[in-house]
Chain A
Amino acid sequence: MQMFPENQQVSEGFCTSSDLWFAQSELQQLLVKAARGAGYCWSDAEEIGWAAAWLSKFGLPGGDFMLSLMLLNDLQAPRLATQRWKGNNHPLCPLRCGLALMDFAQLPEGLGVSSLVIESMTGLPCFLAFTAQTARQIQHPLQIQWEEQSLFINEDAQPSVEIDQVSMEFGETVDVRITRSNSDMVSIETKNPQYCVRVSKQILEQLEAFAYQTLVPASDLSRLRAGCHDDPTS
């Protein structure tokens, strides 16, 4: 998945045989349907759609990452404890961790006054989006650290420009530290949002296959009830 050029200009061959350009909102809607079709409840599907849109907005392949999440079904919800969330000898789910981070951010089990470590989480890129939402919700910048890497997100849910350089493999299982940042975020350069994203046909096909599961086959009755028999001569 590649981002659309910042000036939003479209060349004659804007639509190659293997890719399609999507508006961010269009991608979001597709991801909601795909996630629901993949078996998530509507509430989770909405969050997955939102997260994919956020990632794409800041240059990451949100659709690809969220598709990877949909294809994994053995990730766990975290067991919450002050300053450290763990799993049960099994990788943690970035969606469950992300939503819990948002909901518990200002509770004792969440960020508290210092930091929170989440152990053995898979799908870090998906989790990033929820960290951004958390920063906006608590109106405080956050720092995310994993392995030797680090990223800031400000209180408007905008990531620092390092988002272009950090290495994030969806399948990698990592320990993540989230800290209320004391840094002066004004001095940190944030990445500009973009609103068009290129989706490969391969990814699109898989997302659409999941989304298809939300559709109801037509019947004569449903066609009849879809609307009136229109009279084109009127």
Chain B
Amino acid sequence: MKPIEQTVPARFYRSPSQVMCLTRMGCSHPTRLSFLRQLLRRLKKENWNFDRPVWQINQQGVGHAVYRMQGPERCYSLVAFAHDLPAEMRSDRVIATAWDATFTLFDGTPSTADIKRLERNVPLQEAGRISAKELSLSRANRSVRLFEYVVKELARGRQPERSRLEQTGYLMRTTAVYGTGKFGAADRGNLAGRPEMRAPFQAEMLSVWLTRAFTVDLVEHLAAEQGGLQAVRLDSTLRRLLGVGNSTGLGMAPFLVRHPVLIHHWFAAREEALARVRSQPKLTSEILDQFCEALREAQENAVQWQSEHPLQVAKLKELREGLRQLQTFVHEEWDAAQIYPWDVLWQWGERKLPIEAQEAMLALLLEPHGELVDDLGDQMAIDEEVTFKVDGRQSIGELRKHLHSHFAWALGTDYQQPEQCARFWYVSEEKLEPRLGERHCESGAEREQPLDIGRQVAELCDLLKEWSDRIPVAHLLLVRPDFRSIVRRVQLSAHYPFAEIQDNLISAEMLPIDLLRSKLAFFGATRFDPRSDRWVRISLFQGEPYPNELNHADVS
């Protein structure tokens, strides 16, 4: 698998050391290359059709429904189970055992027998078992205040207040969306050769998008049950304000470390897109108008985006102020007629704007350039298996050179200092979820997960001091097989420069939410709202069309 090639002069690219630090990753914004945007563009382009062949939900909102998308060659169905969940059992934590609704994405159209089988397993989530016919497993809880409020208003024949919808942004939030290869679900290998599943996380995104439609259908159904003829449906403009919430903890953080080559492709594609835009010698008035419209929408979004977490409050302040400065500069100082106008704008932003606003500007620059950058979406997925290898012929000298060239960020740290090894990643026995322990006051470090890449690199560097440059790496690994993984990563770094998060992931200062935000932005998440340093709520598909609107909607 060839790494993404750089197609424009080097001066238009950002360096991996600039891009891959946690401070910047923690300011990531969704772009038009985000996975949910890629999904919607494909479905629209290929004229996928939506229907809801099954709706068996009773007066109390309990039952099941099927939401189906039919494409040119295949169809996929979300099978949704709605439950009667006592309020005291409602929890977003992984330790929960019951939810307001549970879902699976089925490969094709489920038969009655399939639905019966799924009914016995899907509501149990991790305790159940699905099959190769299913592509995802997920669950969601109601946003109690908003869900009940919207039902009551619609039942009374009134529309809910726009401000309240904007404030929460979703009727339900998913608390876990498990994808291919989990709990018996189809392996990703099963989906090879399906263009609609080529980009990362497409099954999961499709599942969440159909879940969004289910949440609105459910409130309208309950309103009709409660209000009878008086009840009204949710206004289509208000519907658009709603996404699907998601509540995410440390579970998704290790993914970014365990899939270095895949992560390289995500970041390299995004950076290639930015470089292509920066290298455009001119712009058209049409593109400029689209950019200004995107900037206006971003400012609106920044105003609606609420959080009470001190870290995010500060970032939101920077974002709003930064976007205001950007708007002023664009309208009053920027000469859009000069050569390389986008590069001039970008360089101004790098000098003047806080990181939060710089990353927002990146998304804005890509927005009007679909024709120029959208092809990069195809390069964000790879077959990781072919890169799972070590070059035993490589000399120790060559390995040492890569180590110093690409891991300087890791070598300047003294990992013996308590604050530099303060944390350890582990998997909890209680719920099999990744957690972050405090090494100096909690037990369990002997079962640490190998996510301490910086420290491992430093240990390799120390080990290599005893080895001569001319000796092949194979000899090193024969006597020290425990260094195999980190040697592989160092060798990969020569071809995949965006493969590593260039920060110490076990330091006392590390903020796990930076990892979460970076990954979630690639999904297409908005409205990041941290609930702690390791727990964040977000919204997906907010503002996007619903399945039944796709054929008439403007999707780009």
Contact = CB atoms under 8 A, between A and B. Distances in A.
B430 interface: yes
Contact of B429 (A137, A216, A225): A216
Given A227-B531, A227-B534, A106 B392 contact: yes
Given A15-B131, A216-B426, 6 more contacts: A25-B189, A105-B392, A215-B426, A216-B427, A225-B438, A232-B141
Interface residues of A, number: 58
Interface in A7-64: 8-10, 12, 14-15, 20-26, 41-44, 46-47, 50, 57
Contacts of B477: 99, 103
Nearest 7 CB-CB pairs, A to B?
A103-B392, A216-B444, A103-B474, A43-B484, A195-B187, A23-B187, A25-B181
A184 interface: no
A186 interface: no
A135 B483 CA distance: 23
B388 interface: yes
A219 B430 CA distance: 9
Interface string B146-188: 0000000000000000000000100000000000111111111
A26 B426 contact: no
B437 A41 contact: no
Given A99-B481, A100-B474, A100-B478, A218 B428 contact: yes
Nearest to B487: A43
Contact of A232 (B91, B484, B534): B91
Contacts of B481: 41, 43-44, 96, 99
Interface string B469-502: 0001110011001111110000000000000000
Contacts of B91: 230, 232
Contacts of B185: 23
Choose among A41, A43, A193 the residue with the greatest number of B CB atoms under 10 Å from its CB.
Answer: A43
Nearest to A28: B181
B447 A214 contact: yes
A178 interface: no
Contacts of B483: 43
Interface string A199-228: 000000000000011111111011101111
B442 A227 contact: no
Contacts of B249: 226-227
A113 interface: no
Nearest to B446: A216
Contacts of A215: 426-429, 432, 447
17 contacts: A12-B116, A25-B180, A102-B392, A103-B478, A137-B391, A195-B190, A196-B132, A215-B428, A216-B447, A223-B430, A225-B435, A225-B534, A226-B534, A228-B531, A230-B92, A232-B141, A234-B168
Given A25-B187, A44-B484, A218 B429 contact: yes
Interface of A: 4, 8-10, 12, 14-15, 20-26, 41-44, 46-47, 50, 57, 77, 80, 96, 99-100, 102-107, 133, 136-137, 193, 195-196, 212-219, 221-223, 225-228, 230, 232-234
A153 B181 CA distance: 26
A47 B473 CA distance: 17
B354 interface: no
Contacts, number: 187
B317 interface: no
A96 B131 CA distance: 35
A12 B145 contact: no
Interface string B95-136: 000000000000000000100110000000000010111000
A36 B373 CA distance: 42
Contacts of A21: 129, 131-132, 184
B90 interface: yes
Contacts of B473: 103
Contacts of A43: 481-486
Given A44-B484, A215-B428, A230-B91, A195 B474 contact: no
Contact of A233 (B145, B429, B435, B447): B145
B389 A102 contact: yes
B534 A133 contact: no
